[in-house]
Chain A
């Protein structure tokens, strides 16, 4: 029989209480990993963007290749909010029987449930405060296709077609995307469009449409681009002149190295000869990958590795060597939770301390902390200039949230007049002209000494690279005075770095306030939204986004200028807060800890709630 939108009997979900929203809702797809749903999901998000509406998708997935549940959550926001909203979805596309109960439970009151009702679910499997939409996707595709692979793939497209009719997604936009995706393969385009229409037609003929959640063409996207942070960082490495990449696969950083492989294949390979202006080695482990980076950088190549927390742990000794031997190295750390099986597919900002003070001995490192793919590109390129300028490891701190999710971001920019800053390197001519060369001599009073590259000059400028046992002329020494002199110079160099890392950015509240909040990285979009929520409650915060370590003078000034400063971050211990206390000698009582660390991205609702509760508590 022809189906109507199933409404669960007890009257809860009638037209009056169902959510009614235009361009502002959350759709969540519950899928089975490996079922081919990813491309249809991405198509959905892109179609929303092409209608000019900001959409932010998030992959929520377990550490698994095939069979386990995955989710794809898309936040659609006309207001341009890119953070996770928090709470449940308004529309759940429940395609995974395994997670049915939890999926149904998570839907916001008054929300909608879309499912394949080829085999209808019994009424007790629903809730009485949601609207249930059943579309027999399996039945439709099984009728139309005989091949099992086709059935599975086209079921996703039929589903997208049905969904597009229900929320009034512009079909022309989807068709255009399909024609771009399968450019030159007309048969494939036609087949996909046909499947799309099958779903659309079925809904139009059988159901009340649209539902209360709809899309209308808007103009919130502008000229922004849509890309994941790992790809953006890899592109930054290409523009930053990186020639050697040594890496070891680890979630969530692998796609960064893979993007570098892809971009180099396109842009760094001689079309005629096939010769490559780069070398990429998949190392046997993280120790080897950082070792290769250090060897290459010692020899004058711009080199990097991409890794995550467990890799950072393994690299500790080498990172120390690079610090003391003063070798440029770029390390992209895409942060996740814990060691071993520890939630590799969940996001966190848990390596701040581990990277800032990596290795044994007295070490302090330079961190760059991008907020989105735009900055992943910017800092990705900048990291190589800073590494050469400062002759030290530079960490670019991404996390899974920005690294592995497509994000709406400012278009990338490049100034063709920009030159790679190779830092202080003495050439054969410099040496020939009689310039004094001492590998660890602080001639410019900035803590940065000159280096020479192997093979430069037949008789001048050669030196022996080692750890800390040396004097300023790079001769072996275990003298205490030599050691101390070197360590003090390294500290001076670290101080120099304060003025070279991207400065923190302050955003003043609309009303004067003595309250501030410091945040960084992927917390950015949630803070912006939380700030608006708090302002509605009369709580005004000046905001400071930290973009690098060591902290510039503006960070100290910001804390100085406020009575109380919340430090918002995605780890248990408030790692950046500890770093502020330790490095700037701030009274810990002045810095409030607002931490979110369950592995899901921090949301505006969480931040606003936590800060409001904190203020309320303080007032009591």
Chain B
């Protein structure tokens, strides 16, 4: 249905951000996903986050792999370049794109099949390299486009729509991201916009590897009784740790919450995250205790959501590689080609 162009007519009084863009300017083509798909809510959250952060849409590059989730970049940020790469390999393509131009924002969208099954290796290595990106897994625990097979994030004991019980242990991408050195790790739920939108904003402002595992129920194949990724199940078991407000400098920062219930985190780019904490004893700067906490809550059947770990001053891949300040794709002959006299010297050394 994507050949139906979305009308470009805007309501004349639609609110504009400081760049002169309305929220509609951050939208893409009409979604071809099933009505009620969690993924569409995530697309809407991305649109809202980019609009509210006042990001120039063309300075964002959106990349994906293959699957329902990977189709979504068509449905947001229509003025951005997008890349539907091959199944499970978005992380390497994104890494390469990021190496070429450090000045763009890289948004990787993937699914649980794309990242936890076929692409687990690339997911892991992109995290451990510290690629400056926002990596969102739209996690529904099921293969949608191929009609309902389990994915690697399906919980052990979960029941498929056809009644098959999954006997394999689930892969926890949040736990892996924490272990592998991601510097921003969050989990959220497509049905909780109040939590998700600021998380995406905070991740976009984060200058390192930011990972968001977003539970996103599949209405067609994984929204039934016995599923642990259905809307009902996730709502019932969602244990939200915190809610965020992202403050980019224009707003005045005021704190009027009870002591211990709010934490301010200033990220390297100057943005401030105001965390409204629902569990005041949780330390989101401690990787080890975050991991332990996740596992403890998981054991009692809770799905912990919120910002789970953040390093406000991360070092990214370009920092490790000491690349030039000018993006590599903007370097010209003078910076790249050593010329004939250098070559003459090399020749002389080879005789």
- Which residues of A come within 8 Å of B, CB atoms? 49, 223-227, 235, 238-239, 241, 243-244, 246, 267-268, 270, 274-281, 283-285, 287-301, 303, 317-318, 321, 411-416, 418-420, 452-459, 462-467, 475-477
Asked whether, in the complex, the Cβ of A291 is within 8 Å of the Cβ of B74, the reply is no
- In the complex, A463 Cα to B46 Cα: how many Å? 19
What B residues does A49 contact at CB under 8 A? 351
Flag if B93 contacts A243 (CB, 8 Å). Answer: no
24 CB-based A-B contacts, threshold 8 Å: A223-B351, A238-B337, A238-B338, A239-B343, A241-B336, A244-B100, A244-B328, A267-B338, A268-B335, A276-B322, A281-B129, A285-B121, A288-B95, A291-B86, A291-B89, A295-B99, A296-B100, A301-B96, A301-B101, A414-B340, A420-B333, A454-B58, A454-B104, A477-B3
Residue B346 at the A interface, CB < 8 A? yes
Chain B's interface: helix, strand, loop or mixed, by majority? helix
Complex CA gap A419/B98 in Å reads: 25
* A279 touches which of B58, B103, B125, B328 (Cβ 8 Å): B328
Taken residue by residue from 310 to 337, chain B's Cβ proximity to chain A (1 for < 8 Å, 0 otherwise) reads as 0000000110011111001101110111
A301–B58 touching, CB < 8 Å: no
Residue of B325, B336, B342 with most chain A CB atoms under a 10 A cut-off: B336
Q: What distance in Å separates the Cβ of B330 from its nearest Cβ neighbour in chain A?
A: 8
CB under 8 Å from chain A, chain B span 71-122:
73-74, 78-86, 89, 91-101, 103-104, 121-122
A244 contacts B336, C-beta separation under 8 Å:
no
- Point out the residues of chain B lying under 8 angstroms from A455, CB to CB: 58-59, 61, 81, 101, 103-104
Q: Is the CB of B61 within 8 A of A275?
A: no
Given contacts A288-B122, A414-B339, 20 further A-B pairs with CB under 8 A are: A225-B350, A226-B351, A279-B318, A281-B129, A288-B95, A288-B121, A290-B92, A291-B91, A292-B93, A295-B94, A303-B96, A317-B89, A412-B347, A413-B340, A414-B337, A453-B329, A454-B61, A455-B61, A455-B103, A462-B82
B146 within 8 A of A: no
| Pairwise interchain contact A299-B56, C-beta atoms closer than 8 A | no
Complex: A285 Cα to B121 Cα, angstroms:
9
**Residues on A with beta carbons closer than 8 Å to the beta carbon of B99:** 244, 279, 281, 292, 295-296, 301
User: A303 contacts B125, CB within 8 Å?
Assistant: no
The answer on a CB contact under 8 Å between B324 and A270 is yes
- How far, in Å, is B194 (CB) from chain A's closest CB? 30
Chain B residues contacting A466 (CB-CB under 8 Å) are 83-84
Question: Which of A279, A321, A452 has the most CB atoms of chain B within a 10 A radius of its CB?
Answer: A279
Identity of the chain B residue whose Cβ is nearest the Cβ of A291 in the assembled complex: B92
Residues on B with beta carbons closer than 8 Å to the beta carbon of A235: 346
Q: Is the CB of B89 within 8 A of A301?
A: no
What is the chain B residue whose CB lies nearest that of A301?
Answer: B100
The contact of B97 among A287, A299, A411, A457, by CB within 8 Å, is A299
Q: By the criterion CB–CB under 8 Å, are B97 and A298 in contact?
A: yes
| Complex: chain B residue closest to A452, CB-CB | B81
A543 to chain B, nearest CB (A): 28
* Residues of B that sit less than 8 Å from A by CB: 2-3, 56-59, 61, 63, 73-74, 78-86, 89, 91-101, 103-104, 121-122, 124-125, 129, 317-318, 321-325, 328-329, 331-333, 335-340, 342-343, 346-347, 350-351
B58 contacts across to A, CB distance below 8 A = 454-459, 462
Q: Please determine whether B101 and A303 come into contact, CB atoms closer than 8 angstroms.
A: no
A287 touches B85 (CB 8 A): no
A573 CB → nearest B CB, Å? 29
Closest residue to B87 on the A side, CB-wise? A317
Residue from A280, A462, A464 within 8 A of B84 (CB atoms): A464
What is the minimal beta-carbon distance from B113 to any residue of chain A, in angstroms? 16
Measured between beta carbons, the chain B residues less than 8 angstroms from A268 are 335-336, 338
Pick the most buried of A280, A287, A463, A477: most chain B CB atoms within 10 A of its CB.
A287
B350/A303 in contact, CB under 8 A: no
Q: Which residues of B are found within 8 Å of A300, using beta-carbon distances?
A: 100-101, 329
Q: Are B338 and A239 in contact (CB under 8 A)?
A: yes
A240 to B337, CA, bound (A): 7
Q: How far is the CB of B336 from chain A (nearest CB, A)?
A: 4
Taking a contact as CB atoms under 8 Å apart, the answer to whether A279 and B81 are in contact is no
Question: CB-CB < 8 A to A299: which residues of B?
Answer: 61, 96-97, 100-101, 104, 329
Query: What is the chain A residue whose CB lies nearest that of B102?
Result: A279
Are A287's CB and B84's CB within 8 A? no
Residues of chain B lying within 8 A (CB to CB) of residue A275: 322-325
Instruction: Contacts A277-B336, A278-B328, A300-B329 given; indicate if A225 touches B347 (C-beta within 8 A).
Output: yes
Closest residue on chain B to residue A458 by CB atoms = B58
Chain B residue numbers with a CB within 8 Å of A279 are 99, 318, 321, 323, 328
Please name all residues of chain A whose beta carbon is closer than 8 Å to the beta carbon of B92 when the two chains form the complex: 246, 283, 287-292, 295
**Closest CB of chain A to B268's CB: distance in Å?**
19
Let me know if A411 and B122 touch, CB within 8 A: no
Inter-chain contact B323/A276, CB cutoff 8 Å: yes
Q: Which residues of the partner chain B approach A297 to less than 8 Å between Cβ atoms?
A: 96, 100
Q: For A274, list chain B residues within 8 Å (CB).
A: 322
CA distance A458 to B77 in the complex (A): 11
Report the bound CA distance from A479 to B121 in whole Å: 35
A270 to B323, CA, bound (A): 10
Query: Smallest Cβ distance from B90 to chain A, in angstroms?
Result: 8
Identify the interface centre among B57, B74, B340: most chain A CB within 10 Å of its CB. B340
Contact A287 B79 (CB under 8 A): no
Closest to B92 in A: A291
Q: Report the nearest A residue to B324, measured CB to CB.
A: A275
Task: Name the CB-closest residue of A to B329.
Answer: A300
Instruction: Report Cα–Cα, A194/B85, bound state, in Å.
Output: 62
Bound complex: CA A419 to CA B73 (Å): 36
Nearest B residue to A470 via CB reads B84
Question: Contact between B61 and A294 (Cβ–Cβ < 8 Å)?
Answer: no
Cα A295 to Cα B79 in complex, Å, equals 19
- Is the CB–CB distance between B347 and A243 below 8 Å? no
A465 to B121, CA, bound (A): 23
Contact of B335 among A277, A284, A301, A303 (CB under 8 A): A277
